[in-house]
Structure 1
Amino acid sequence: MVKFGFDGSYNNDTKLSDVIPPLVLSYNDRIRPLLGASDKLRHLQVMKEGIELPTIVVIGDQSSGKSSVLKSLTGINLPHGQGIYTRVPLIMRLQHHSTPNPELHLEYHGKIIPTNETHIAEAINMATDEIAGTGKGISNTPLTLVVKKRGVPDLTMVDLPGITRVPVRGQPEDIYEQISSIIMEYIEPKESIILNVLSATVDFPTCESIRMSQHVDKTGERTLAVVTKADKAPEGLLEKVTADDVNIGLGYVCVRNCIGEESYKEARMEEAKLFESHPLLSKIDKSIVGIPVLAQKLVQIQVNIIAKCLPDMVREINEKLHANVFELKKMAHNLSSTVDAMTAFVRFLDLQKNLSGEFDEYSDEDENEMHCTALMAELLNK
């Protein structure tokens, strides 16, 4: 039987049932406060104030295996299959929860829809149809999946629609432009960590997701590539990930996708066997293979970028706070006495008199064409 070791490796001395999602395993108490602080800021919606937070953004060409990678990392059963299954930005917000029973819900259109681990894929599909329609179109309106579960990391990831150049029946003619616009919006902020999912069956330089990530991250310093379907195209894979012709600054991790009805545990066991015994894949360094290694790299990368961005985030929050306090102080105070009320009323009368006196010459104009200040005077007179 197989179990993940602390270093992301496998050993054969424990039961398979002991295997837990590797993203959880890689997330320990030492780094929980840092990642937790970032997610609390996200929950406070500081991004609506223009303050960007480090976020793992998952991109890839259509059918590259994005959803399978996320399922393997988190243990959450996301919709997957041929075609575009992710038709809206799916924001996955994982939160550590002390109670034994998991709590899952979807947030969209101002609604909160409870669900559970068994029916999560069905619930996501139904919500997607409500947001983007029942056809094959996409929408930039995000769908948030909140997972509160004991042991999961306080971590947020965004799964974006797979890139396709040629629209199929039922898709708009500009489907490529729509998807590109959504992806660029999420990966452009310098705080975004780009998880670029590449299939081993294609040439990396031809991948549209590579072109997009290179456009916003020329040095590759915030791009990590995960190579899926390693078992489908093992020939030359070692050379492709070591040559790095596409300048992936954070490196590559090769993984094996779930096949058919494999359980999560069975898939991890088969992955371990594949990279250990395959005549070609076994030559790839063990530090860049397997879902557990990918999980550790993601957590560490996010910790590093949070630590790097934290001073700027604190500065921006303080600047926003001071600006809002300044504006608040400029607003009229509560009228708590008769004297305060009379003072405010006299000021109002002075304003009316000044406006009326200066703009009487506009009084005969048609109201639809009245000078804006004259119109204000007319309203005050009324």
Structure 2
Amino acid sequence: MSESSGLNQLFEEKVRPCIDVVDSLRSLGLEKDLNLPAIAVIGDQSSGKSSVLEALSGVSLPRGTGIVTRCPLVLKLKKMKKDKNWHGLLSYKDQTNTLNDPAAVENAVLYAQGVLAGIGEGISHEMITLEIQSCDVPDLTLIDLPGITRVATGNQPKDIDKQIKDLIEKFIQRQETISLVVVPANIDIATTEALQMASKVDSTGERTLGILTKPDLVDKGMEETVVRTVNNEVIPLKKGYMIVKCRGQNEINDKLDLARAMEKERHFFDEHAHFRCFLEEGKATIPFLAERLTNELFEHIIKTLPELQKQLDMKLQKTSVDLRALGDGVPLDEHEKIKFLVTKIRQFNDVLERVKNAEEDVKKPNIRVFSKIRGEFQNWKSVLNAKAIKTEDILRVELEEYLRTNRGMELPGFLNYRTFKSIIKEYIEEQEEPALKLLKDVTDIVRSSVDHIINIHFNALSHLARAAKEQIDYLLDKQFQKAEKNIRSQFKMEKIVYSQDDLYSNQLCIVKQKSKSGQGLLASFVKEDVRDMAYRLISYLMITSDRLANQVPLIVQYHMLNKYISQLQNEMHVMTRENDPGMLLQEDTDVERKRNELREQLKRLKGAGIALSKSVSVQ
């Protein structure tokens, strides 16, 4: 593969460390957490995909009929100096096997696929990593995916076609993946599923490179179609096409080695009347493909590293938050358990205290509990004002109707106190249901907020959370009933017409003054007795509104916030004394598993941070 040495030394010094950064992230298992830049090799069955990979890697890979690639195979090729011996490393799950002979690769991969995908011809999403260090390979990492099949055969699962397509799509739909689509040159490329799948997730062809194989099988007269395809004139791709000729089955049977196969490939294109131009343009042969892929991967990694760093930072932050939320786990020592429980309750009660005092810490877009409650109180005030200040025509009609139907023997101009009281009583009754709705709305806010606090503090301790929520419901319902009783009592009292004389007189003066200046709604009243009654009604209703605007929120706040939270805090302390700490601190069965997963993920992400920091010098 002497053509690959055409990469200048400076470029080679940059390429290997850059590819190593991504390979190290993949080896850490970061494929689970981040979308890593990659070249994924896809193709229909019998497209020549395995032959291309063999030619690039210099080793024989599983081949034959049916599905030969049953797991994603990460093929890491590392170019070594001439004096270094060939070295291979095969990894899957927790297994790592050293390979000292290229001939051992095929059976090692087959065995690993059997372990991961089982007996038969099923597939697995678990990866096998094959690292090859040799002086005859390019610096390159590829991911080989199972060949696309249309119909299940033999003992293949009935939905094997869907399984394979789902696996392929999982890789190629990522913006960080370049799709290397392998297509035989002797068929209509528009009919190949591999190219259709790539087009589905990459409609502009920005991330797709086409590879034509088997040019020696092209029928006479069809060469121009192949030329037009490679020249990007049939199905255009931004990255275009290349064409290669690998070993055929007969040549493999005749034990033609890869080095000799490349010589024959070069000779084929040199002598071909139609395809010779591709060799001159660097679009043909395995060595030119190797160089092209190394360049593509290097540039792609450099392009995606900033976004990768951003992904990593976000994932690291979220994982740390999730892990903190689960806590360190319950201590095993009984004495330590008690201390742990007391600390948990104290922290919970401290947050409740801050809620009660409207001092809790919140981050946008969250809002303090009391800010939500204050909003409800302001709405209540608006409801009262809207009822107290009626439009002129409505008030005139109501007053005239009351005076007409309720007037007794009194002469015109004499105020009917009974009429006054009737209107006041009706107004008060209209406000009782809105006041009770205010109580319910505030109760819902408090219930939801405290429930949220419990979920944050005790989310890993379901027994403790359940016990706390039982207290929430019991105490909240208890205070709700007391608050409802006090509100109803308040409205009964409001039906008694009373105000301090000076307060009433002052309010009456204000209303009359506004009317005289034309600012009030009463200036145009014609009948003097109606106008006088209106003055007095509006004055008293304003006093009542002010009283209810303050008193109802005070009742609600006292019972549903102050009293309720104080009782809840006390009951939480009682609960720690009267219950077995071991019972309260039982974790859900999956919490420990989740905690361990997050710890492993955090470890991977921190390792990725170190690896990415090293990449800065590469760029």
TM class, shorter-length: 0.7 to 0.9
Structure 1 portions without partners, runs of 5+: 9-23, 363-374
CA-CA distance at 1:121 after TM superposition: 0.4
SS in 2 for 1:112: strand
User: CA–CA distance in 2 between the matches of 1:37 and 1:170?
Assistant: 40
Q: Is residue 231 of structure 2 the alignment partner of residue 242 of structure 1?
A: yes
2:163 to 175, 178, 181: 178
SS in 2 for 1:78: coil
Distance 1:283 1:26, change over 3 A: farther
User: CA–CA distance in 2 between the matches of 1:170 and 1:320?
Assistant: 41
CA-CA distance at 1:326 after TM superposition: 5.2
Task: Check conservation: 2:330, 2:340, Cα contact below 8 A.
Answer: no
Structure 2 portions without partners, runs of 5+: 349-463, 475-578, 587-619
What residue is the counterpart of 1:13 in the other structure?
A: none
Q: Is residue 91 of structure 2 the alignment partner of residue 113 of structure 1?
A: no
User: CA–CA distance in 2 between the matches of 1:75 and 1:157?
Assistant: 14
Distance 1:26 1:188, change over 3 A: farther
Query: Structure 1 residues 315-324 or 252-261, which shifts more?
Result: 315-324
What amino acid maps onto 1:197 in structure 2?
V
What residue is the counterpart of 1:252 in the other structure?
A: 241
Q: Is residue 22 of structure 2 the alignment partner of residue 38 of structure 1?
A: yes
SS in 1 for 2:13: coil
- Mapping of residues 112-261 of structure 1, within 5 Å: 112-115=96-99, 116-149=101-134, 155-233=140-218, 235-236=223-224, 237-259=226-248, 260=251, 261=255
TM-score by length of 2: 0.50
Distance 1:341 1:128, change over 3 A: closer
Task: Check conservation: 1:67, 1:80, Cα contact below 8 A.
Answer: yes
Distance 1:31 1:279, change over 3 A: same
Distance 1:183 1:354, change over 3 A: closer
CA-CA distance at 1:36 after TM superposition: 2.0
CA-CA distance at 1:195 after TM superposition: 0.5
1:297 to 292, 315, 318: 292
Task: Check conservation: 2:15, 2:139, Cα contact below 8 A.
Answer: no
What amino acid maps onto 1:286 in structure 2?
E
Distance 1:353 1:122, change over 3 A: closer
Query: Structure 1 residues 293-302 or 37-46, which shifts more?
Result: 37-46
User: CA–CA distance in 1 between the matches of 2:60 and 2:160?
Assistant: 26
Task: Check conservation: 1:36, 1:155, Cα contact below 8 A.
Answer: no
User: CA–CA distance in 1 between the matches of 2:265 and 2:9?
Assistant: 17
What amino acid maps onto 1:262 in structure 2?
L
1:28 to 6, 9, 12: 12
Equivalenced residues, count: 350
Query: Structure 1 residues 239-248 or 154-163, which shifts more?
Result: 239-248
Distance 1:88 1:333, change over 3 A: closer
Query: Structure 1 residues 227-236 or 54-63, which shifts more?
Result: 227-236
User: CA–CA distance in 2 between the matches of 1:5 and 1:92?
Assistant: 18
What residue is the counterpart of 2:343 in the other structure?
A: 347
1:66 to 34, 38, 49: 49
User: CA–CA distance in 2 between the matches of 1:343 and 1:379?
Assistant: 14
Q: Is residue 293 of structure 2 the alignment partner of residue 308 of structure 1?
A: no
Task: Check conservation: 1:238, 1:283, Cα contact below 8 A.
Answer: no
What residue is the counterpart of 2:417 in the other structure?
A: none
1:380 to 584, 587, 590: 584
TM-score by length of 1: 0.79
User: CA–CA distance in 2 between the matches of 1:68 and 1:197?
Assistant: 10
Higher relative contact order (CA 8 A, sep 6+): 1
SS in 2 for 1:227: strand
Query: Structure 1 residues 126-135 or 310-319, which shifts more?
Result: 126-135
Task: Check conservation: 1:66, 1:197, Cα contact below 8 A.
Answer: yes
Task: Check conservation: 1:39, 1:155, Cα contact below 8 A.
Answer: no
Distance 1:313 1:205, change over 3 A: same
Task: Check conservation: 1:95, 1:148, Cα contact below 8 A.
Answer: yes
Q: Is residue 3 of structure 2 the alignment partner of residue 4 of structure 1?
A: yes
CA-CA distance at 1:145 after TM superposition: 1.8
User: CA–CA distance in 2 between the matches of 1:342 and 1:132?
Assistant: 48
1:263 to 257, 261, 276: 257
User: CA–CA distance in 2 between the matches of 1:97 and 1:274?
Assistant: 29
Task: Check conservation: 1:131, 1:141, Cα contact below 8 A.
Answer: yes
CA-CA distance at 1:139 after TM superposition: 2.5
Query: Structure 1 residues 150-159 or 340-349, which shifts more?
Result: 340-349
Distance 1:377 1:60, change over 3 A: same
SS in 2 for 1:196: strand
Higher helix content, 1 or 2: 2
CA-CA distance at 1:37 after TM superposition: 1.9
Pairwise CA RMSD: 3.8
User: CA–CA distance in 2 between the matches of 1:332 and 1:82?
Assistant: 52
Higher strand content, 1 or 2: 1
CA-CA distance at 1:138 after TM superposition: 2.4
Percent of residue pairs bearing the same amino acid type: 33
Map Cα deviations across residues 35-83 of structure 1 (whole Å, 9 max, x no partner): 222222222333322x211111000010111111011112122122333
Q: Look at both structures and tell me which one has the larger radius of gyration over its CA atoms.
A: 2
Task: Check conservation: 2:214, 2:245, Cα contact below 8 A.
Answer: yes
Task: Check conservation: 1:197, 1:228, Cα contact below 8 A.
Answer: yes
User: CA–CA distance in 2 between the matches of 1:306 and 1:361?
Assistant: 55
Distance 1:345 1:173, change over 3 A: closer
What residue is the counterpart of 1:369 in the other structure?
A: none
Map Cα deviations across residues 120-152 of structure 1 (whole Å, 9 max, x no partner): 101111222232233233232322223345675
